[in-house]
Amino acid sequence: MAPRTNRKWTLKSRPKGMVSESNFELVTEPTPELADGQVLVKTLLVAFDPAMRGWLDDRESYVPPVGIGEVMRAAAVGQVVESASRKLAVGDLVTGTTGWQEYALVDLEHPTMFGSVTKLPEGATPEQALSIFGITGLTAYFGLLDVGKPKEGDVVLVSGAAGATGSVAAQIARIKGASKVVGIAGGPEKCKWLVERAGLDAAIDYKSEDVRRRMKEECPKGVDVFFDNVGGEILNAALVNMAQGGRIVLCGGISGYNADSPPPGPSNIMELVIRRCRMEGFIVIDYLSRTAEAAADMAKWAASGELIAEVDVQEGMENVPGCLNRLFEGRNLGKQLCRVGEPE
């Protein structure tokens, strides 16, 4: 067999504002020899999430930042192409945080938070493994059900509803018996998809409509659960449209991720007092011990057709950095992926 070479995108400089391809460097190197207990994984699909932008800043958060010169961190699906371990065989499809690279060396005897892989869930496609069964699906599941605690008959509002997490959260709200589910998205195509494919009751186009007025029209008695992926002015609008005793789930704030300085907080924060509401943030890593619980429910819903996973698949290792910006430019529908390899 000819020696394999690995192309990988490493962090060259920390971005200020929007991420640029110039912040990364495409490096080519030979793949290393395997030691006992190690496998070589060929990357097939790379996943992109808004949280990745925060990993590029030089500050401590719930995970350490990506270091200068390190491979950009990302979830991926790959195929084991060499194995020196009894735990995985050549040909096995696996998923893990293996990053922006064509090949990843994984030590199965000494796994780390960002250096371990597991076999794909039984019956799951690579696309599903990175969407409904991946971090975004788990985030939607636990954020909505454990933090939002929707009750049958509640009115549920989701921002970023055509994105990977928002689309799953909105569908779970429908499955769990919400009396009305309203999504906020950008553009007529996404809004049409939310109603016609995802089964939402209504969609608000933040690019062309008055969001605050449309919230009032669609939710005249107020919003019981608001699952927020956006923050900013959309969060402000929701605060004055909450029902008494409502719950706001702070999943993300993509509207401010590329700001040079933190945007100001909600100007309507006292509405939480007036309306006796609760607003709570969460991080999905706190729920990873319950992954099997979420996977079982979502596998059942996917099999029945109640839950669909939309994916946006771009192509080519050279296009990987640009896929991250697709999230912030609102060009993706569903989970953003990039195909960088084919199975052997």
Mean pLDDT throughout 112-133? 91
Q: Are residues 315 and 250 in the same domain?
A: no
Q: Is residue 239 part of a domain?
A: yes
Q: Are residues 53 and 168 in the same domain?
A: no
Least confident of 32-36, 218-222, 259-263: 259-263
Q: Are residues 180 and 145 in the same domain?
A: yes
The answer to whether 129 and 275 are in contact (CB under 8 A) is no
For residue 205, the enclosing domain spans: 135-285
Q: Cα(first)–Cα(last) distance of the chain, in Å? A: 13
- Final residue of a structural domain among 269, 285, 301: 285
CA distance 26 to 317: 9
More confident residue, 59 or 138: 138
Q: Are residues 273 and 193 in the same domain?
A: yes
Mean pLDDT throughout 301-305? 96
Domain CATH for 268:
3.40.50.720
Q: Are residues 266 and 164 in the same domain?
A: yes
Q: Which tokens in the block code for residue 241?
A: 């449209």
Residues whose CB is less than 8 angstroms from the CB of residue 325 and which lie 6 or more positions away in sequence, other chains included? 18, 19
Q: Which long-range contacts (CB under 8 A, 24 or more apart) does 277-281 make?
A: 277/239, 277/242, 277/244, 277/245, 277/246, 277/247, 277/248, 278/246, 278/247, 278/248, 279/247, 279/248, 279/250, 280/147, 280/247, 280/248, 280/249, 280/250, 281/250, 281/251
Mean pLDDT throughout 98-107? 97
Look at the chain and report how many structural domains it folds into: 2
Mean pLDDT throughout 4-22? 96
Q: Are residues 70 and 170 in the same domain?
A: no
Q: Is residue 290 part of a domain?
A: no
Q: Is residue 143 part of a domain?
A: yes
Q: Is residue 297 part of a domain?
A: no
- Final residue of a structural domain among 268, 285, 302: 285
Q: Which pLDDT tens digit goes with each residue over 170-189?
A: 999 999 999 999 999 999 99
Q: What is the Cα Rg of the chain in Å?
A: 21
Q: Are residues 152 and 117 in the same domain?
A: no
Task: Band the pLDDT of 162: cuts 50, 70, 90.
Answer: very high
Mean pLDDT throughout 296-304? 96
pLDDT at res. 263 = 78
Q: Is residue 144 part of a domain?
A: yes
Q: Is residue 115 part of a domain?
A: yes
- Over 80: is that where the pLDDT of 55 sits? yes
The answer to whether 72 and 99 are in contact (CB under 8 A) is yes
pLDDT at res. 287 = 96
> Cα 153 to chain center, whole Å?
27
- Residue 185: strand, helix, or coil: strand
Q: Are residues 143 and 259 in the same domain?
A: yes
Q: Are residues 139 and 122 in the same domain?
A: no
CA distance 301 to 306: 5
Domain CATH for 314:
3.90.180.10
Let me know how long the chain is: 344
β-pair partners for 103: 42
pTM over 0.75: yes
Q: Are residues 121 and 24 in the same domain?
A: yes
Q: Are residues 157 and 277 in the same domain?
A: yes
Q: Are residues 243 and 334 in the same domain?
A: no
Q: Which pLDDT tens digit goes with each residue over 231-272?
A: 999 999 999 999 999 999 999 999 888 887 777 889 999 999
